[in-house]
């Protein structure tokens, strides 16, 4: 998939995924989070996941994947994406999560 999407398309997908995550964070934790403040956003993302018992659950990776899928379904319901947008959305959401985990572990990514 390398070079399949332009940088602008990838940026838009990342932004949409983060905006939806911010909505979920607001619903569950009751806090507003700025998606452009990386450290604050990532802390809120992990607080959201921890509020659901992550990572101390039988399959924490599956939980994260399910959250990404549920958020995409919400975007579909709101007519903000098409079914064909799933793959790039999924890749953006999971990449964002993995990069956040690496930064949390002290890596500069």
Instruction: Give the confidence band of 3 by pLDDT, cuts at 50, 70, 90.
Output: low
pTM for this prediction: 0.69
**Residue closest to 65 by CA, chosen among 37, 98, 39:** 98
The distance between the two most distant Cα atoms of the chain, rounded to a whole number of Å, is 38
**Residue closest to 68 by CA, chosen among 40, 87, 84, 47:** 87
**Residue closest to 95 by CA, chosen among 12, 7, 17, 23:** 17
32 against 12, higher pLDDT: 32
Q: Is the pLDDT of residue 1 over 60?
A: no
* DSSP state, residue 36: T
pLDDT digits (tens, 9 = 90+) for 47-65: 988 898 888 888 888 888 8
Q: Is the pLDDT of residue 2 over 70?
A: no
């Amino acid at each position: 998939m390398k070079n399949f999407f332009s940088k602008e398309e990838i940026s838009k997908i990342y932004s949409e995924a983060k905006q939806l995550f911010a909505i979920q964070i607001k619903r569950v934790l009751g806090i507003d989070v700025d998606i452009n403040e990386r450290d604050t956003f990532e802390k809120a993302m992990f607080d959201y996941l921890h509020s659901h018992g992550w990572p101390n659950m039988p399959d924490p990776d599956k939980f994260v994947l399910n959250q990404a899928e549920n958020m995409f379904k919400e975007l579909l319901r709101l007519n903000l994406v098409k079914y064909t947008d799933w793959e790039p959305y999924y890749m953006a959401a999971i990449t964002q999560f993995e990069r956040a985990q690496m930064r949390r572990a002290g890596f500069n990514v």
